[in-house]
Amino acid sequence: MLRMKLRLPLRALLVVPVLATGLLVGGVGTAAASTATATVGDTGGVGLTIRTGPHTSSGSLGLVWDGQRVTISCQSRGDTVTNEHNFTSNLWDYVPNLNGYLADAYMATGYDDRIPGVPDCGGGGSQGQLVPVSQFQGQPNQGEDCGPTSVVTALLADGVTPHGWGTSQVAAINAARSDMGYDPSWNDPNQFGTGEGDVQTALAANGVDSDIVNWDIDTVLAHVRNGHPVVLAGNMKDLPWSGHDVAHFLTVAGYSGGDYLVLDPASDTIVYHTTAAVLTAFWDNDLGHAGVMLW
């Protein structure tokens, strides 16, 4: 029988600064992961298209211009692009503030290839991308928006464009909350967070089927290894990069090289690489023991 569980408020996290450097947790030990600043150039004055994915055929989100500085949170291989000076690269840079990717061939990063310390964006399903999104973007329910934000990142990992994504990240978060049946414009004192059923409802509103699995972490993680993202319920106190004692949702969006690829809406906007043991510890808590598996 499905046991509905409410996410507790994350208001305590509002006073915790989000650092530019986090922990990228691997199979053994930890390694630093950073963002990087770069400058757009070599476009010949026509501007550089912001893409929804690391491909020239991906949707357009507008233009950036020569001389514009941006912050890169992760990098991904994609289509090969040649700039105005015949420099060629298949590397793409994800810029959270733009909600999209820029071809690295046009970016002055200080490196001809990958930027040391900046993580790989990874990949979700066959058409998906791993896009870190913070739940803390000034919206009324930001303290309780781990569920709606995880819906957004899970849909992107599944290759589905979430409602509101073409406008902004916060519009997509608010749209996911609205898809759950809640008013995103105010913080309802009687609604403390969201539950697995709400996540499933929002996914269905975006045309994605899902199953809620309780008390079976092995099935949930096998689903990820088979190429499908999962929104996982648990407690942040068992996450090596967090430690806060707060009930929480996050997206387990992919599996690569023996690591699970995690998008945590309450932590740094990077892709975390972690283990089954870490995710099991996160899941094995009160208000945890559940995963919403996307199909």
pLDDT 10s digits, 177-190: 999 999 999 887 77
The pLDDT confidence band at residue 20, using thresholds 50, 70 and 90, is very low
pLDDT 10s digits, 125-161: 445 788 889 999 999 999 999 999 999 999 999 989 8
Domains of the chain, residue spans: 11-32+124-294, 36-108
pLDDT 10s digits, 28-60: 223 334 688 999 998 888 999 998 778 888 878
Predicted local confidence at residue 5, as pLDDT: 33
Contact call for residues 255 and 226 (beta carbons, < 8 A): no
Predicted local confidence at residue 271, as pLDDT: 84
Pairing verdict, β 210-214 and 107-108 = unpaired
Pairing verdict, β 88-95 and 74-82 = antiparallel
CA–CA separation, 184 and 176 (whole Å): 9
The pLDDT confidence band at residue 123, using thresholds 50, 70 and 90, is low
Predicted local confidence at residue 136, as pLDDT: 95
- Residue range 11-32+124-294 in CATH 3.90.1150.10: no
Predicted local confidence at residue 122, as pLDDT: 60
Predicted local confidence at residue 118, as pLDDT: 82
CA–CA separation, 238 and 227 (whole Å): 25
CA–CA separation, 258 and 170 (whole Å): 32
CA–CA separation, 81 and 194 (whole Å): 42
Predicted local confidence at residue 44, as pLDDT: 86
Please state the length of the chain. 295
Single-letter amino acid, residue 8: L
- The torsion region of residue 200 among left (phi > 0), alpha (psi -120 to 50) and beta comes to alpha
Instruction: Count CB-CB contacts under 10 A for residue 34.
Output: 18
Reply yes or no on whether the pLDDT at 4 is more than 70: no
pLDDT 10s digits, 75-111: 888 889 999 888 999 999 988 888 788 999 999 999 9
Q: What is the 3-state secondary structure (H, E, C) of the chain?
A: CCCCCCCCCCHHHHHCCCCCEEEEECCCCEEEEECEEEEECCCCCCCEEEECCCCCCCCEEEEECCCCEEEECEEEEEEEEECCCCCEEEEEEEEHHHCEEEEHHHEECCCCCCCCCCCECCCCCCCCCCCCCCCCCCCCCHHHCHHHHHHHHHHHHCCCCCCCCCCCHHHHHHHHHHHCCCCCCCCCCCCCCCCHHHHHHHHHHCCCCEEEEECCHHHHHHHHHCCCCEEEEEEHHHCCCCCCCCEEEEEEEEEECCEEEEECCCCCCCCEEECHHHHHHHHCCCCCCEEEEEC
CATH code, 36-108 = 2.30.30
Sequence-distant (6+) residues with CB within 8 A of 245 are 235, 236, 237
Reply yes or no on whether the pLDDT at 277 is more than 60: yes
pLDDT 10s digits, 199-250: 999 999 999 999 999 999 999 999 999 989 999 999 999 999 988 899 999 9
Sequence-distant (6+) residues with CB within 8 A of 176 are 147, 148, 149, 151, 152, 162, 163, 164, 202
